[in-house]
Amino acid sequence: MTQNMRKGMKEGLYRDDLKADIVAKLYLSRFDVIFDGELFPVDKYSFRMLRGRAFATTCVASPAIRD
């Protein structure tokens, strides 16, 4: 994931001021939390919906990609 982010930064797909190692760890930790049944009971939240929201890219995408 870190390599992908660094490549995306070079290509202008991601913001050039990201700390790729930190952002990668934060993204991976988001994946773990969606399996927490106390935070996200399965009768209230679907895995598909949580997965889609957990990995939204608006915060890492460069302005050219977001707009």
The residues spanned by each domain of the chain are: 2-66
Q: Is the pLDDT of residue 32 over 70?
A: yes
- Bridge partners of 61, per DSSP, are 14
Kindly tell me if the per-residue pLDDT of 57 is higher than 90: no
Quickly state the pLDDT bin for 65 (edges 50, 70, 90).
Answer: low
pLDDT score of 62: 64
Question: Distance (Å, rounded) from C-alpha 47 to C-alpha 13?
Answer: 27
**44 pLDDT more than 90:** yes
> Which pLDDT does position 29 carry in this prediction?
81
